[in-house]
Structure 1
Amino acid sequence: MSDIAKDAWRRYLIQLQAHPLRTKAITAGALAGCSDVIAQKISGIKKLQLRRLLLIMLYGFAYAAPFGHFLHKLMDVLFKGKKGNRTVAMKVLLEQLTASPWNNMMFMLYYGLVVEGRPWPAVKDRVLSVYPTVQTTAWKFWPIVGWLNYQYVPAQFRVLFAGFAGSSWGIFLNLKARSAAAPAIKKA
């Protein structure tokens, strides 16, 4: 079994080197799908909602991975040649003040408008009520991930590392989005 895993990892690294954005996008889509399956099971959904699963995978593939890929490229440009704890702290702070709020807002909007197919006023109301809690929770989780990522993870693996952490975060967001939608669904 070890040889199979080593060979798969070697092939993954070759693809990551040759086609970094495509490889990160496919990986992010798969990780988003895994987190959605887990979120569906935790929330008590008996039969897997395939449409929802595919739309969440599309989000990881088409948005999350490209955003992360280019964010880390930008960070490398902004902090070119700088190392050390102060630089890591500045990267984490910049990411938490810009990318984190943006990404959480984008996910909540995407989930409401695309995944659930709800009208804009309903999505807007839900985002206004739930977003502060989501973002506050994000600021308890993502700075630790960011610190580990910038301090210890080589640049080519940062999106992958964030993707694995994002799988856990995706479960939280899915459950939060679903729980916020439940009262509105019951009223309809």
Structure 2
Amino acid sequence: MSLSKPVYSLLGVYLEQLFNHPVRTKSITSSVLAASANYTAQRIAGHKKINQESVIAYGLFGLIFGGSVPHYFYQTVERLFRHDLKFRRLFQFLSERLVFAPFYQLLSLYFLSIFEMNSHEVAVANLKKLYWPLLRTNWQYLSIPVIINMTYVPPMLRTVTMSIVSFIWVVYIAQWRRRLQDKQAGGADGKNTK
């Protein structure tokens, strides 16, 4: 089955934008994918009414951080580990898993909460509850896609590739965060009724 001419044209325009304006294109792509993932997570959870603030928060996070931070990280890793370095891919993988993933997980959990109009205290409390369980899960399930991305995907496309993988990850995070918020709301209601 071949792709139609409009699809090829659209793909060509996208790749041209990616080459000429990488951070902007990756940020917009990440924003659309993150907002779509949050919307999808809410639909999967069976919400009758979509929490638009949460969708906007995920889209805003993707726009501000989702394209730029990974773009500069992958650029730095490419420069830091020369092509002639023995075990180059291993060092790139370890830097992604042990430096980037913990930092980006912290950044995402904190700012998603802030963008949802929570206070700093609530954002930090959510971060304390979710950070380690999500990071361990990230290491467990996203390490194989990271290996594939760093081994087989050209550097220019790594951020976009991980944004697509992140769609599934964001659906997972959004559901996990929503369960925590529902549990906290239920706990607060229970305290108020006593």
TM-score normalized by the length of structure 2: 0.89
1:91 to 2:92 alignment: yes
**2:127 alignment partner in structure 1:** 127
> Larger radius of gyration, structure 1 or 2?
2
**2:105 alignment partner in structure 1:** 104
**2:71 alignment partner in structure 1:** 69
**1:156 alignment partner in structure 2:** 156
Looking at structure 1, the residues matched to 76 and 18 of structure 2 have their Cα atoms a distance apart, in angstroms, of 19
Structure 1 stretches of 5 or more lacking a match? Answer: none
Looking at structure 1, the residues matched to 129 and 14 of structure 2 have their Cα atoms a distance apart, in angstroms, of 41
8 Å Cα contact 1:111/1:177 also seen in 2: no
Looking at structure 1, the residues matched to 158 and 25 of structure 2 have their Cα atoms a distance apart, in angstroms, of 13
1:17 to 2:16 alignment: no
- Secondary structure of the structure 2 residue equivalent to 1:48: coil
Deviation at 1:83, TM superposition (A): 6.5
Q: Deviations over 1:52-98 (max 9, x none)?
A: 212211101111110011001101110122477x2212111111111
TM-score normalized by the length of structure 1: 0.92
8 Å Cα contact 2:82/2:88 also seen in 1: no
Looking at structure 2, the residues matched to 122 and 71 of structure 1 have their Cα atoms a distance apart, in angstroms, of 29
Deviation at 1:140, TM superposition (A): 0.9
Does the C-alpha gap of structure 1 residues 83 and 39 become closer, same or farther in structure 2, counting only changes over 3 Å?
farther
Q: Deviations over 1:111-139 (max 9, x none)?
A: 22321x33333332332222211111000
8 Å Cα contact 1:28/1:163 also seen in 2: yes
Looking at structure 1, the residues matched to 127 and 7 of structure 2 have their Cα atoms a distance apart, in angstroms, of 42
Does the C-alpha gap of structure 1 residues 123 and 51 become closer, same or farther in structure 2, counting only changes over 3 Å?
closer
Which amino acid counterpart does residue 54 of structure 1 have in structure 2? I
8 Å Cα contact 1:96/1:142 also seen in 2: no
Which amino acid counterpart does residue 36 of structure 1 have in structure 2? N
Looking at structure 1, the residues matched to 53 and 35 of structure 2 have their Cα atoms a distance apart, in angstroms, of 11
- Secondary structure of the structure 1 residue equivalent to 2:67: helix
Structure 2 stretches of 5 or more lacking a match? Answer: 190-194
